[in-house]
Structure 1
Amino acid sequence: MLVGVPKEIKAQEYRVGLTPSSVREYVAAGHSVLIERDAGAGIGASDEVYRRAGASIAESAEEVFQRGGMIVKVKEPQPQEWRQLRDGQILFAYLHLAPDREQTEGLLRSGCTAVAYETVTDDHGGLPLLAPMSEVAGRLSIEAAASALKKPAGGRGLLIGGVPGVEPARIVVIGGGIVGTQAARMAVGLGAEVSILDRSLPRLRQLDEMFAGRVRTRFSTIEALDQEIAAADVVIGAVLIPGASAPKLVTRPMLKSMKRGAVIVDVAIDQGGCFETSHATTHDHPTYDVDGVIHYCVANMPGAVPVTSSHALNNATLRFGLMLASEGLSGIRRNSHLRDGLNIHRGEVTCEAVAKSLELPYQPPLEALAA
């Protein structure tokens, strides 16, 4: 199969769908790779490096979309990209369709087969293609919070770890999954006072053991949220329902109880965000103020560290991408984990969580593939 890799065009997105190392793997497996000129510039990979890996260089994104049987991207296609997708073409990328009706309808009209990184599963019920970016975003969330807490940025003027004789910042992490765990790890390492809220008692036990009592764990109730948010200097939103819109756990009235200059980092913004006052921002303008609370809601946080995140992402996606390139729709039929990743197929929504979130008709993947 000819695998096409366009340059990412989302604002301040420097990652690339295939690294040179991954290109070598595709070529060794008998595939051709066509990559848009300068697509790897953000990770320091020149066109010549890609040529040596076995890729051909396209002069435009249009050429990539016209010729590619499978398109490998990082972020969801932008309007000018989904208009170039076609019937029978496979798209392999992050999609985050649940809060994005416009993109969903664009993909439905295209007739393409869209496999979303964020809903591909593994044998343990995990999300292996989402995990590496969750690790990156979780760690970055504390760096972002530290910057936003500074007085010139509108924050309270706190140093996260404090100094001897001055108490550190109090950081509340909502959600004890990969994002929340990595955020807590960074915050603890900087010396912050950290609380993690989650609704899974087994997970809270794991976290208590993992951090050896260095974080406070609380079962997440409305009352617990109220109490923790009112006392917090930073709140990290790290809640995920696979494929679905994130629940709005923190309402605007709750926000009024927060300290002036406190910071919210909504890592769930790709799925709509878990704060009622959240809306997506970019690295160009990452924050805004609501009721005196600084909101950081960048929708592609890992794009700020493209070398780390591109390689981490490729390590996770390579096996599935090779399967799609070699087997096409047969691979999706055969492999249940790829079927879980199938969100759109030839004008049908094949992810139940997306269909429910957008109130669209749902067709089970195997039925859609058979049709």
Structure 2
Amino acid sequence: MDDNALKVSIRQQRPVPLDAELVCEAGEMLAIVGPSGSGKSTLLRAIAGLGKPVQGLISCGGATWRDSSSRVRLPTRERGVGMVFQQYALFPHLSALENVMEPLASLPSAERRKQAQAWLARVNMSGMEQRCPDQLSGGQQQRVALARALAGNPRLLLLDEPFAAVDRVTREKLYRELAALRRDLSVPALLVTHDVEEALMLADRLCIFAQGKVLQTASAAELMARPADGQVARLVGHRNIFRANVIRHDLGRRHTVIEWRGIRLAAGLQERFSVGSRVNWMIPRSRILLYTPNSETEHRENTVVGRVQEQVELGDMVALTATVEGPERPPLHLMLPAHVVSRRCISVGKPLHMTLEAEGIWLMPDERYQIDDEAAALPRE
């Protein structure tokens, strides 16, 4: 572990419960992802040293910022944190250049101006140095806020829902600019967001956060393919989450066979679940494929027949909900390119022949309150 990493192990009961442990390496962006009201911003404020002191340990860059056991609490101004907020938090009476010069107060005036101009150039704000915040668009204000956060050479960069207040087109431009800037950053960066897609695009790893607790931290690929449980699966956007019984482990074929309401499905081998146990299972929408019935159908794995119940166009993709033939099985959710839907003449009421890729089926511990087929979905905060 790098000595320049951010290390957090904190807890508190009030005003917002927290029980969180995380590590963010130097040069890494870690996204804290969770629903509104889950405590994400409270976690960021605790790391920055804002508000009531938390219990536990916070260190960054080899320095201890908070250690409740020895009563260490470094003031916010001495932690060297660069923060970017949802509502920009620029000084309204200062120009863009003057805002970026603020964290450079220890430098001679000419050097402050030179560095601030350089940072504004890096965020594509050259020529707008003398404009005040009310003369800038939302995207431009956010660029100034980012330049100000980075200008002070921070030990840690904190971004709290930084793109929530701008339109989608501007947001996508800011994503690209932040991704380009990140290549030169050598400090830990925490991004708080409720938008899973945003986190997947920008972060090296995701930390799934709910009710003040870290549920799972992993790379985007790991989280999407192997969520720790049904709650994490829901929070990262999976919809195909069901229950089944483990029937057997086929070591020769490297499969675990499960039974889902009368249908036997082969999953990738997952021996940690004992034969006879009840499990949750999930499959990403991208791992449900269509096939045309023919003489080779019997050789396909995990074939199910459904009927289109709902069809929603989402740009060049189409979201489909398909009922599955059999005893009150819950529907499957698919996402297909619009041209595939058109070519196959898919429409509401028509049959769908689907194969569920074995390697895409992931088993999780049984948690009844989280699964669609026997209970309501997770409540949203």
TM-score (norm 2): 0.24
The structure showing larger relative contact order (alpha-carbon pairs under 8 Å, at least 6 residues apart) is 1
Higher fraction of helix: 1
TM-score (norm 1): 0.25
Higher fraction of strand: 2
